[in-house]
Amino acid sequence: MSIVQTIVPDKLGHFGMFGGRYVPEILIPALDELTETYNKYKHDKDFAQELDYYLSEYVGRPTPLYFAERMTEQLGGAKIYLKREDLCHTGAHKLNNVMGQILLAKRMGKSRVIAETGAGQHGVATATACALFGIACQIFMGVEDMRRQELNVFRMRLLGAEVIPVSAGTQTLKDATSEAIRDWVTNVADTHYIIGSVVGPHPYPMMVRDFQSVIGREAREQIMEKECRLPDYAMACIGGGSNAMGLFGTFVKDESVKLIGVEAAGEGTDTDRHCATLTTGSPGVLHGSMSMLLQDDDGQVQLTHSISAGLDYPGVGPEHSYFQDIGRASYVSITDCEALEAFQYLSCTEGIIPALESAHAIAYAMKFAPTLGKNKLLVICLSGRGDKDVHTASECLEVMS
């Protein structure tokens, strides 16, 4: 099956009023080159074969669609399936996109790759692929994130990447992304920038979505096999929104499948310490595209907070803003405490330690599934494993106990 979905965006990368290219002129030719290369290879048989090879032999796809039987029984409502992206090589869905982009970078003759990272999962995935292909790799990471994700910093260095600390601004994902863009502006001739989510200027939101769409395509096939029908709900956590877009894409045209994105409410959306962009933000431009944004009345980007570094971002992918706008998906939020509870719940109920990011989706399912009938089917994207988070979690749980 083709990896391409064609409804949106338009030629300039607009999803309704969202998306587009809000970047300095200097980057436009590189984005044009990338768009052209992507458009050329997305229909190319050799490219698809090479990508499929690495996805199955290296990433470990397909990942299982696991029936969470104990969780289903205990919650007493909808039948819950977990799409096990945590079983991908490097421990999260991030490598799906990175493999696609690194194969493009090779074809564009780029000798150096850069990436931003928050939780470190995308950084580790990028460092991994660069090690595999022998490409020089530099990862930009906020100093605050380096502190809370120390293990991933070590992993990236072990994989041969250089981790560049970013001490500007809030020292988190937002600033790491800005710094990566500044580097790209300077070194665009020989460097490819692998953005890790469905954010950024066109073609990134479209391209990353397409590379992640393998999640949904597999899930669709697997649920048809197991249940002979489509799910009633597809659910995923949302920072930038790439695992959610990967799961949602295949179901967009199936109106019977309701799509639910779960954002991070941090210490609560009634406080100023959260990153629930879609549920509380307003339209604005960050990192090259128009989307919903957490900003003040003066258009300054707001400080955010989440226990999960991967969701701690004031923006969101433009296609999610579009889905919200046209009512195709709904977006809810989960607090730090609820996510921590789900983190423990899934660990001791199913023997699966979820990433704190993914725990947000689990937490919403714990509230939502019991309200549904037993004949309903709920597919949750378990986007990553929680090993990286045990340190953060144990610190928080100690404080709470």
Partner 1 sequence: MNRIDKCFAKLKERSDKALLCFLTSGDPDFATTADIVEEIISAGADIIELGVPYSDPLADGPSIQAASQRALQAGATVRGVLDNVKKIRERLQAESADAPIVLMTYFNPLQKYGMQRFAEDAVRGGVDGVIIVDLPPEEAGEWKSICDDTGLAGIMLLAPTSTKDRIKVAANMGSGFIYCVSRMGVTGARSDVPVELQELIENIKSATDLPVVVGFGISKPEHVEFVTRFADGAVVGSALVNIIAEHAGSQELVCRAGQFVKELRTGMARRE
What are the residue numbers of the active site?
Answer: 94, 116, 383
Q: Site for partner 1 (CB under 8 A): which residue of 77, 288, 354, 386? A: 288
Nearest to 276 by CA among 261, 264, 293: 264
Distance between CA atoms of residues 330 and 73, nearest Å: 26
Distance between CA atoms of residues 136 and 74, nearest Å: 49
Note the residue count of the chain.
401
Distance between CA atoms of residues 80 and 62, nearest Å: 19
CB 198 within 8 A of CB 208: yes
Report how many residues bind partner 1 under the rule CB under 8 A.
38
Q: Site for partner 1 (CB under 8 A): which residue of 9, 100, 284, 318? A: 284
Under rule CB under 8 A, residue 270 binds partner 1: no
Task: Give the shortest CB-165-to-partner 1 separation in angstroms.
Answer: 14
Q: Site for partner 1 (CB under 8 A): which residue of 107, 182, 258, 328? A: 182
Distance between CA atoms of residues 277 and 313, nearest Å: 8
Q: Site for partner 1 (CB under 8 A): which residue of 102, 135, 259, 286? A: 286
Q: Site for partner 1 (CB under 8 A): which residue of 3, 8, 30, 104? A: 30
Task: Give the shortest CB-191-to-partner 1 separation in angstroms.
Answer: 11
Task: Give the shortest CB-301-to-partner 1 separation in angstroms.
Answer: 5
How many angstroms separate the Cα of 211 from the Cα of each of 4, 8, 155? Answer: 9, 15, 24
39 exposure class (CB count in 10 Å sphere: 0-12, 13-18, 19+): middle
Q: Which of residues 192-231 bind partner 1 (CB under 8 A)?
A: none
Task: Give the shortest CB-297-to-partner 1 separation in angstroms.
Answer: 7
Mark the segment that binds partner 1 (CB under 8 A) among 192-200, 214-222, 278-286, 370-378.
Answer: 278-286
Contact mark string toward partner 1, 295..324, x via CB under 8 A: x-xxxxx-----------------------
Instruction: Pick the closer one to partner 1 by CB: 12 or 397.
Output: 12
Nearest to 316 by CA among 159, 209, 221: 209
Under rule CB under 8 A, residue 275 binds partner 1: no
Under rule CB under 8 A, residue 17 binds partner 1: no
Mark the segment that binds partner 1 (CB under 8 A) among 17-25, 132-140, 153-161, 372-380.
Answer: 17-25
Nearest to 194 by CA among 131, 293, 103: 103
305: phi then psi, degrees, rounded to nearest 5: -150, 140
Distance between CA atoms of residues 91 and 116, nearest Å: 17
Distance between CA atoms of residues 380 and 387, nearest Å: 19
Under rule CB under 8 A, residue 384 binds partner 1: no
Task: Give the shortest CB-4-to-partner 1 separation in angstroms.
Answer: 22
Distance between CA atoms of residues 15 and 318, nearest Å: 7
Mark the segment that binds partner 1 (CB under 8 A) among 48-56, 258-266, 285-293, 353-361.
Answer: 285-293
Distance between CA atoms of residues 375 and 106, nearest Å: 47
Under rule CB under 8 A, residue 34 binds partner 1: no
Q: Site for partner 1 (CB under 8 A): which residue of 83, 93, 287, 388? A: 287
Under rule CB under 8 A, residue 352 binds partner 1: no
In three-state secondary structure terms, 218 is: helix
CB 15 within 8 A of CB 198: no
Q: Site for partner 1 (CB under 8 A): which residue of 26, 158, 326, 348? A: 26
Crossing angle between the packed helical segments 121-133 and 150-158, to the nearest 10 degrees: 10
Q: Which chain residues interact with partner 1 by CB under 8 A?
A: 12, 20-30, 168-169, 174-175, 178, 181-182, 185-189, 282-288, 293, 295, 297-301
